[in-house]
Amino acid sequence: MFKATAYIVGPVDGPGAALRDLATGLQFEAVLPYAGAAAADQQTGRTPLLFFLVAAVDRVTTLEPFARQVRFHPGKRVRFSPIIYFSESPLAEAIQTCVALGFDDVLTLPFTPERLRERLTRQVNRSLNYYETPSYFGPDRRRDGDARADERRAGGRHRRFEIIRTAAAGVHILRDDMRAA
């Protein structure tokens, strides 16, 4: 179904194995264990569209090095790839941490193929906004289009990207706006 690569971020057994089986059932072109951003960048030559499926961990803050590696990668196909966290318990603190790390989505139990397919489909073939500030890079999380709140949080300086993801081209930047204080 998805002409893309699903990278499984997590252990090869337990939650990681369950994610691998779920992604395999959705017929991704490739389902691979995450082996670093450089390997993911090379994979974009074969499948331009990547999804990072992140298995549940005890402390979500331990995912910060991974998130920074992806979100601040110089290659746009890696940097703008969807990062989806699979939470076994929907604790507000864990969800807030994922949002702060620039994750695109957080799924909670049950993890069914139908539900995952629907959530992944939201990430492709439509315009999406991303923001970059000195401390954040990821999807637009503003409520009600509150651009002033973004400017206050970023000290007035931020960069807004409008992107679209497709299986054929990966990520295409439609618009790149820099706002200075």
Percent helix / strand / coil, the chain, rounded to 5: 35, 30, 40
Whether residue 69 is found in the same domain as residue 101: yes
Mean of pLDDT values over 66-88:
97
Mean of pLDDT values over 126-148:
82
Nearest-angstrom CA–CA distance, 132 and 136:
6
Give the residue, 53 or 145, on which the prediction is more confident: 53
Mean of pLDDT values over 123-138:
94
- On the question of pLDDT at 156 being above 80, the answer is no
Whether residue 85 is found in the same domain as residue 102: yes
DSSP, collapsed to helix, strand or coil, labels residue 75 as coil
Sign of the alpha-carbon dihedral angle for 134, 5, 118, 56: negative
pTM of the shown model: 0.92
Whether residue 111 is found in the same domain as residue 39: yes
Whether residue 68 is found in the same domain as residue 96: yes
Whether residue 76 is found in the same domain as residue 33: yes
Nearest-angstrom CA–CA distance, 35 and 25:
22
- On the question of pLDDT at 164 being above 90, the answer is yes
pLDDT confidence of 150, banded at 50, 70, 90? very low
Domain ranges, residue 97: 5-121
Structure tokens at 20: 């691998």
Question: Whose CA is closest to 7, among 24, 99, 65, 100?
Answer: 24
Chain-centroid distance of CA 173 in Å reads 16
State the total domains in the chain. Answer: 2
Mean of pLDDT values over 119-138:
95
